[in-house]
């Protein structure tokens, strides 16, 4: 029954080309890159909704549960919610607290002076609230605090329960600075006592600086190089900004933060000019806020009339940043902060992060199925970033996919390769000799999965039709149920043709349906998306190893 239900679903989606509204879950494969985010803004009641719109992209969330007061003591904030924690654990997402002094230098130093007590208090709070660990985010200190900082993280490792995670948010250091803020982080020693370092690879330009990128290409790559010279790459997490900064022309001070979602509102309300700096891989806007325009509020402050420059991140710049994780083979990414991004970020984030991005599947009805099939290694794109989901499928491509899915050929494949190399065998079909899929076609034919089209021909470049795909599925299931006359159901099927019985057999058990007009349209060409859905869904329901018909 399990096999029947699974294939039925696959073929109904396939043959009716219905839209897919797949639920997203956090089922990551071992080679997927790590993805965490910080949650700081907004109300706790809306956190689950923010997480769910990431479409199953997250492994871990760091929330502001732990603060450090001016005396250096631990303060438990009012953001904790046991129901949210349960929601996340149900989704397979770990929840840690980030421990922050919020740039209060006195608080940070006092905390490190009494680090034994703070470490114990943090460990106790993690157990009390059933958290999955802590992300240390003490900022604004300098090189004089470096050893104390490292010792504090070492103490956390000793006191926090086994299995809980400890990570540290560290300043980006593209200029290899050993003093000031960057000097407080000993990357090499911190990494010894933590699961990963989250590089805050943003704020290249900051509040009070002159206008410039949040994180330019040079800034990022130099920051990564500094890290990998000191830390194993599997412990490096690259920070991605979900915000921008704005400067008003004529003002002596600027660089105020603004979420990417608010920037989209500005584009709708005001006259804007968009630019992209190719060298720095960073976008920026010039905005003309006119007196008659509707008010735009950023963190409660209205933008006064005048010209503004906004450096920020968009799809292109975020994709570039994600590509660096693949380029340097880092552990993954962190982002500041969830809720400031535009929702469409999650259409491509996980795909790009894992080097599996196809530009043309975003929003497609088979998007999730294509992603899953590609992860399984069942199907590839036509290029590195294009899948062509609505393109047609050839008989050679279909056959190759099935052979790969069923893992056919181990011994047989070796035998065929030997014969082909020595030209000691005649091929099954006149038109496949020398074809790129010759080996797969020969294997599938010997297993009784595919046959020729007549006159000893296979027509490997012929496009696959609905009847051919349905017959293929029926062969994989090895159905042998009696056939009833279905001409009243499908008026365009001709009794006695090669596909009649398999199609009727599949329809009898409701594996396939016709169209509302009562026709089956057997000659209609299928698409790559439809083929992917079928292969992905039946892959788990066809027995392996697949036995030849004559060996049963």
Compute the mean pLDDT over every residue in the chain, rounded to the nearest whole number: 88
On whether residue 325 sits in a domain, the answer given is yes
The whole-angstrom separation of Cα 469 and Cα 466 is 5
Helices (H), 380-449: 395-406, 410-422, 438-446
What does the pLDDT read at residue 355?
83
Asked if residue 434 and residue 336 are part of one domain, the reply reads no
On whether residue 169 sits in a domain, the answer given is yes
What does the pLDDT read at residue 508?
80
Pairing of the two strands 271-277 and 282-289 = antiparallel
The whole-angstrom separation of Cα 332 and Cα 326 is 9
> CA torsion sign, 257 to 207 to 35 to 382?
positive
What is the tens place of the pLDDT at every residue in 72-98? 999 999 999 999 999 999 999 999 999
Q: Does the pLDDT value for residue 416 go beyond 60? A: no
Asked if residue 211 and residue 112 are part of one domain, the reply reads yes
Q: Provide DSSP, 147-182.
A: HHHHHHHHHHHHHSPTT-EEEEEEE--TT---STGG
Asked if residue 198 and residue 58 are part of one domain, the reply reads yes
* Domain total of the chain: 2
Helices (H), 171-272: 187-192, 217-228, 260-269
The whole-angstrom separation of Cα 368 and Cα 533 is 9
**CATH of residue 46:** 3.20.20.80
How far from 117 is each of 105, 164, 169, CA to CA, in Å?
19, 19, 21
Q: Which of 308, 328, 353 is the last residue of a domain?
A: 353
> CA torsion sign, 118 to 123 to 124 to 129?
positive
Contact 437, 396 (CB under 8 A): yes
> CA torsion sign, 454 to 460 to 466 to 469?
positive
Q: 276 pLDDT band (50/70/90 cuts)?
A: very high
The whole-angstrom separation of Cα 493 and Cα 513 is 13
Helices (H), 44-95: 47-52, 82-90
Active site residues: 139
On whether residue 459 sits in a domain, the answer given is yes
What does the pLDDT read at residue 381?
86
On whether residue 534 sits in a domain, the answer given is yes
DSSP 8-state class, residue 193: T
Asked if residue 117 and residue 178 are part of one domain, the reply reads yes
Asked if residue 348 and residue 441 are part of one domain, the reply reads no
Asked if residue 99 and residue 51 are part of one domain, the reply reads yes
Q: Does the pLDDT value for residue 503 go beyond 50? A: yes
Better-scored residue on pLDDT, 19 or 552 = 552
What does the pLDDT read at residue 551?
54
The whole-angstrom separation of Cα 266 and Cα 272 is 8
Q: What is the mean pLDDT of residues 463-487?
A: 80
Asked if residue 338 and residue 427 are part of one domain, the reply reads no
What is the tens place of the pLDDT at every residue in 281-336? 999 999 999 999 999 999 999 999 999 999 999 999 999 999 999 999 999 999 99
What is the tens place of the pLDDT at every residue in 21-30? 333 456 556 6
On whether residue 451 sits in a domain, the answer given is yes
Q: 8 pLDDT band (50/70/90 cuts)?
A: very low
Q: Which of 81, 33, 31 minimizes the C-alpha distance to 58?
A: 33
What does the pLDDT read at residue 427?
66
Asked if residue 491 and residue 444 are part of one domain, the reply reads yes
What is the tens place of the pLDDT at every residue in 156-169? 999 999 999 999 99
On whether residue 266 sits in a domain, the answer given is no
What is the tens place of the pLDDT at every residue in 223-272? 999 999 999 999 999 999 999 999 999 999 999 999 999 999 999 999 99
Asked if residue 344 and residue 221 are part of one domain, the reply reads yes
Q: Cβ neighbours of residue 159 under 8 Å, at least 6 residues apart?
A: 119, 120, 122, 123
**Structural domain boundaries, residue 463:** 2-17+387-551
The whole-angstrom separation of Cα 181 and Cα 185 is 8
How far from 34 is each of 28, 189, 236, 297, 506, CA to CA, in Å?
9, 22, 10, 34, 42
Asked if residue 338 and residue 400 are part of one domain, the reply reads no
What does the pLDDT read at residue 426?
54
3-state secondary structure of 68: strand
What does the pLDDT read at residue 547?
65
On whether residue 285 sits in a domain, the answer given is no
Residue 539 backbone dihedrals phi, psi, to 5 degrees = -55, -35
DSSP 8-state class, residue 240: E
Q: Which of 353, 376, 399 is the last residue of a domain?
A: 353
What does the pLDDT read at residue 424?
42
Better-scored residue on pLDDT, 25 or 114 = 114
Asked if residue 90 and residue 226 are part of one domain, the reply reads yes
What is the tens place of the pLDDT at every residue in 353-410? 988 778 788 778 888 888 888 877 788 888 877 899 999 999 999 998 888 888 886 5
How far from 92 is each of 24, 332, 351, 374, CA to CA, in Å?
11, 17, 19, 22
What is the tens place of the pLDDT at every residue in 327-357? 999 999 999 999 999 999 998 899 889 887 7
Q: Does the pLDDT value for residue 60 go beyond 60? A: yes
Pairing of the two strands 332-336 and 236-241 = parallel
On whether residue 311 sits in a domain, the answer given is no
Q: Which of 308, 327, 353 is the last residue of a domain?
A: 353
Say which range, 173-182, 234-243, 422-431, 506-515, has the weakest mean pLDDT.
Answer: 422-431
Strand partners, 198: 169, 237
The whole-angstrom separation of Cα 132 and Cα 332 is 18
What does the pLDDT read at residue 1?
32
Asked if residue 13 and residue 81 are part of one domain, the reply reads no
């Amino acid at each position: 029954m399990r096999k029947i239900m699974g294939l039925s679903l696959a073929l109904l989606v396939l043959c009716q080309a219905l839209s897919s509204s797949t639920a997203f879950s956090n089922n990551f494969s071992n080679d997927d890159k790590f993805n965490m985010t910080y949650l700081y803004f907004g109300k706790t009641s809306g956190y689950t909704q923010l997480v769910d719109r990431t479409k199953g992209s997250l492994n871990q969330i760091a929330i502001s549960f732990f603060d450090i007061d001016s005396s250096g003591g631990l303060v438990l904030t009012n953001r904790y919610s046991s129901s949210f924690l349960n929601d996340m654990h149900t989704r397979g997402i770990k929840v840690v607290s980030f421990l922050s002094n919020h740039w209060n230098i006195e608080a940070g130093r006092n905390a490190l002076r009494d680090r034994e007590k703070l470490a114990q208090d943090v460990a106790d709070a993690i157990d009390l609230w059933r958290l999955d660990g802590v992300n240390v985010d003490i900022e604004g200190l300098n090189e004089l605090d470096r050893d104390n900082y490292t010792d504090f993280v070492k103490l956390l490792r000793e006191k926090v329960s086994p299995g809980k995670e400890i990570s540290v948010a560290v300043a980006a250091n593209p200029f290899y600075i050993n003093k000031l803020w960057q000097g407080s982080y000993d990357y090499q020693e911190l990494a010894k006592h933590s699961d990963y370092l989250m590089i805050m690879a943003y704020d290249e330009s900051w509040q009070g600086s002159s206008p410039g990128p949040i994180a330019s290409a040079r800034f990022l790559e130099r920051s990564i190089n500094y890290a990998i010279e000191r830390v194993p790459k599997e412990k490096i997490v690259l920070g991605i900004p979900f915000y921008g900064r704005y400067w008003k022309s004529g003002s002596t001070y600027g660089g105020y933060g603004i979420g990417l979602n608010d920037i989209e509102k500005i584009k709708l309300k005001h006259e804007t000019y968009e630019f992209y700096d190719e060298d720095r891989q960073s976008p920026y806007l010039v905005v003309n806020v006119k007196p008659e325009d509707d008010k735009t509020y950023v963190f409660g402050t209205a933008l006064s009339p005048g010209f503004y420059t906004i450096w920020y991140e968009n799809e292109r710049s975020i994709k570039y940043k994600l590509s660096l994780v693949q380029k340097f083979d880092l552990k993954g990414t962190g982002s500041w902060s969830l809720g400031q991004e535009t929702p469409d970020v999650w259409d491509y984030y996980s795909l790009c992060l894992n080097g599996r991005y196809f530009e043309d599947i975003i929003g497609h009805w088979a998007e999730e199925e294509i992603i899953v099939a590609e992860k399984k290694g069942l199907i590839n794109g036509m290029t590195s970033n294009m899948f062509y989901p609505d393109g047609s499928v050839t008989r050679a491509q279909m056959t190759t996919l099935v052979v790969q899915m069923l893992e056919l050929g181990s011994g047989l494949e070796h035998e065929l390769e030997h014969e082909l190399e020595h030209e000691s065998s005649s091929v099954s079909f006149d038109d496949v000799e020398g074809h790129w899929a010759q080996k797969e076609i020969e294997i599938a034919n010997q297993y009784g999965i595919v046959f020729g089209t007549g006159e000893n021909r296979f027509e490997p470049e012929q496009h696959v039709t609905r009847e051919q795909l349905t017959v293929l599925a029926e062969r994989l299931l090895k159905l042998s149920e009696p056939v009833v006359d279905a001409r009243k159901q499908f008026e365009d099927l001709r009794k006695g043709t090669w596909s009649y019985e398999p199609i009727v057999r599949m329809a009898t058990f409701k594996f396939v349906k016709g169209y509302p007009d009562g026709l089956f349209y057997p000659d209609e060409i299928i698409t790559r998306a439809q083929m992917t859905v079928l292969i992905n869904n039946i892959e788990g329901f066809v027995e392996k190893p697949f036995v030849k018909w004559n060996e049963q």
